[in-house]
């Protein structure tokens, strides 16, 4: 089975060292160096909907996650992606910030005067012609 590695910001990386349906072992750098992070990560993963058991193995610097599969192959990929996002919440936060910025850019309203608007609607006609009323 190929080993999958994902790089995470600030030098933290993780590697799927073993995976079978319903169970995954992930080696995560700096788990031993940062027990607070390890505990928070364990709590985050335990809170995921399909997760049934989470165990931290300090000797292997890894996390073992057991989970239910709903019956379709897609559910396993979804739970794995949720686990990866829990390991790297900054990526998820970064995606949310990017989406928010895109929405803000789409909703910005350009302020223009009546003359500018008339010129944009019908270019080539002088602004005075746009504002004439019969």
Split at pLDDT 50, 70, 90, the class of 10 is: very low
115-130: average pLDDT? 66
Could you please state the CATH topology (level 3) that the domain comprising 4-88 is classified under. Answer: Gyrase A; domain 2 (3.30.1360)
Q: How far apart are CA 4 and CA 89, in angstroms?
A: 19
Q: What is the pTM of this model?
A: 0.59
Asked if 85 and 100 touch (Cβ cutoff 8 Å), the reply is no
- What does the pLDDT look like over 18-71, one tens digit per residue? 999 999 999 988 788 888 888 889 999 999 989 999 998 888 889 999 999 887
Split at pLDDT 50, 70, 90, the class of 83 is: very high
């Amino acid at each position: 089975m190929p080993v999958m590695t994902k790089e995470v910001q600030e030098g933290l990386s993780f590697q799927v060292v073993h995976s079978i349906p319903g169970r995954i072992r992930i080696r995560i750098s700096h788990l031993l160096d940062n027990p607070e992070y390890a505990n928070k990560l364990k709590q985050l993963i335990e809170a995921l909907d399909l997760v049934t058991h989470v165990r931290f193995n300090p000797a292997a610097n890894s996390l073992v996650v057991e989970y239910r599969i709903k019956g379709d192959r897609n559910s396993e990929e979804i739970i794995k992606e949720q686990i990866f996002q829990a390991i790297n919440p900054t990526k998820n936060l970064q995606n949310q910030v990017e989406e928010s910025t895109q929405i803000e850019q789409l909703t910005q309203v350009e302020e223009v005067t009546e003359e500018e608007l008339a010129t944009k609607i019908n270019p080539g006609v002088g602004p005075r012609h746009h504002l004439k009323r019969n």
